[in-house]
Structure 1
């Protein structure tokens, strides 16, 4: 309208003044005041009026568009989240990619439920509202209801009598006059389910489409932005802004428990705000009762949405379409929120019973979890968010929970290396499985898997001793002993627990406690095992080293010699277990002041270990440092090189601040 009116006025001015100029050119002799210039210079006036009129005609639509941009139409756009936090980089990327093409641009925001996909799309719409003439929000969770929402859209655009069958193309046709426009399809399913509602071909132009979805498979239809959980900095920022008295330290710990999931953080802030719960008290509740807490705490703009029920629809759909995937998800829910090696399932298909023995069925089972956004799939692993795990655990019946736990215990017993000292590949395998072993064994075991739980706890303790983490190993091994002592026929296993505990207390500088435990283990094993059992050799060597710490070197010597004889006969002279006996015997001779006798024992142990273990294995580092100490006492100049190599290995494996590393570095510096 404004464009037509402005053009008409400009035309009238040109005609009026032009007619005056024409009359002047025709020979009139008298003109009133200012118009006399027109009579004298008519053609100059005409030349000046032409560009002025054109500028007026050109500016009219610009003013018209500017006026229209002040009032964009927003249809069903949710209220803006006034506490929106972070995501600045993602919002910039969203804008850049949407505006990089001149035709219809479509982007899919994909991610885990609760990660903030809808909030991101809505925030984008508000930040760039002035850039659009029409913005619409469509709930796409149920594809059958999308057409009815377009009927409402049609009414907003002034379309009447639009049938549900024709309403979608008519709406896009009308949007040609509302360019640029933006439509957000929230919580979409697979692309095929929304094809009828998305623009294509010449249906519309100069518009933007954003689809938010948990479901994979959109990359062939549109560009995809994978939205992850918050960074820890964003999580801490949200909590400290929303919760009075929240410190960065407590916020960091709460964010860790909630896996930085934005919805869970908002829910936590809502809970603390409503109940006036102190942040420290909330953290205590969260740590001890995670499954209960994810069902509590309202969001002001979405009071019915809580983390506990966020994934129920996806799980129900899986139960109907692929029940094996639900069984897999339940097993994963009892493991740690760390990468789960897929070969844990393929290695024990008959135990875990999730179809892992059929490659095709297994691939589609794992793919179903990844496809619905319930898990993230890697080349050889699966990661399930800790709050997805908590929600699944909370929904599992007690019988299903106990059954899944028993299956996992048995599968893990088969999967973990038992020969932690002798198997050169034990360390990397234990590093990936240790979090899952601890997760599965953290509660008191049901009777059906008590024995397997004790084995896992003791083996985990043994591995932790190997990497120098005895403080973590101690409570695990104490639980293993308590379980084995409560079961019948577990005397030998109780002896293994006792000797492992003795080793832990020895390394924790409690030799008296270590001696008592080692003597109990030796008596127990001698009562139920053959006299030449390697288990008895381990007891003897451990007791010998403990006696040396107590200054009873003469009593330790025959024990260490007997341990070496047993293992050489059982395993052969070059077995890794023989190297431990050699080191134990060498320690006795060093404490007796006989370094010359100790040196060949240490050298032989080093040769065995270098032939078996990787060059940077901790066991090699320990022997190198020990050998350097003995060589230094014997005034051998090569001691410095052994000390330097040993210190490098310990620093790499244990860290710079570990006490054993600090001692090794001090020795290397002293011998430099």
Structure 2
């Protein structure tokens, strides 16, 4: 009786059953759509229909770009389309921020969080992305890339040539002839009035209809300008539209960032004037304006409020919240994305940056932002965990902004840290190609600022060499390691921990290539130097002992390797404890060493040390895996 399955592996059967049971659970379309900030979405019904038609063409890969000037509503149209057609894309809707340089990381993060996909360890970022596309959930899929400014920068991350994948781009620019375009124009006049009615009140607009029509025309029927002006009206119930129009006429602003580009329709003049109108509101405090100056220094990405508080530690928390909520959010100069997270619209950010030149404390704010981002970068260890990478991810675009646009305001003592943090972020995910430019930039910036003979230069050279070494690019790594060692000796003298580290790094490079005769004296020098400077019981001494033991093990010099492993373990047990990652690593090296001695038939050369005999006995006992854990 019963069902018998022959020839099935247990693991395979478990996978099939898990997938079947999961398919029985009611699920919606997986997505990561941002929240819409629109009060009312009007005047875009035809565009929504046209967009859906273009995306449903049976091409190998349907790609449509919504093109139009800044503030015209490209992002909102894409978002409203995605919301309206969730059920048409059961395979998921993935929203990507194209202005951030880590498109591949965003795709992998979506696949992890929304699709339960886990790329195998050891893959570089492009291969992780390819794995995600191959294993994506079945059904039609919509990929949205918002705010594309460089098509070549994203094309390598696009889905494969498969008709079930639909790609939707938004951009202010013409991205090339290979794409299908939906040219987004300004709102029709009646839709513009409907938007004003929704925000400022239907009765008020209808009562002053002629003036409202003139106002909408003056604003160029641009959604962002209409919304800002409508909110300004809503905040001033006694203000008539004639007076408002006069104020707008008086507050024209010629800002380079808001000047119409030849490739775009309409103008930015009315939007700039609307920004200026809100900015010069007599009820807006100077403190709120100062907050705006700080916010425009962040990258064009969501801003966590805790970072703002850290930039302004002397400000009262409640006063700062009032500046945010009453001064900026209520005037639509700042958008609340979700609890504790805010963002500036691109044009508003540009507008504020033109104002920043008139702010006397601008340099102080820039230094504060650099200080906060440096502190965040310093939290990322040399080998970050997935959780640590995920924690840093929201700060990534702002860290990049500091490392590029604000590098002048990074202090000398902290100069390397934004670049170190960025390189570790990518290197920790196997994205070596993304890590390399930051290593190189670090070397360039440090040498330019601090000169050729500075310890930070040696550090940056060591880091770049380590990246090359981890990729097996030994010929490129070796001269950098040697240069770093010579520089450290020249600047710091022979007896310095950094010199010992450089010796150890160069020895490790030779060790990796099997150049044991060159590696051994360097390992010994590093060990002796660390003992002399740091003392016999320092964990760095244990590291040197472990490395030298590994060298002897690789050469079959087992009698010399054993006491070094034991000494290293003794230090680590006493100083770091049994469960520390460094202790665990050296213990596993020691166990591997004993196993190799057994396999080579040379157990007679092992000492009678209790730890040696314990591991030996355990490994020789069939089925006993207790040697996988250190024993004090």
**TM norm structure 1:** 0.47
Q: Which one has a bigger Cα radius of gyration?
A: 1
Determine which structure has greater relative contact order: mean sequence separation of CA pairs < 8 Å that are 6+ residues apart, divided by chain length.
2
TM-score (normalizing by structure 2):
0.49
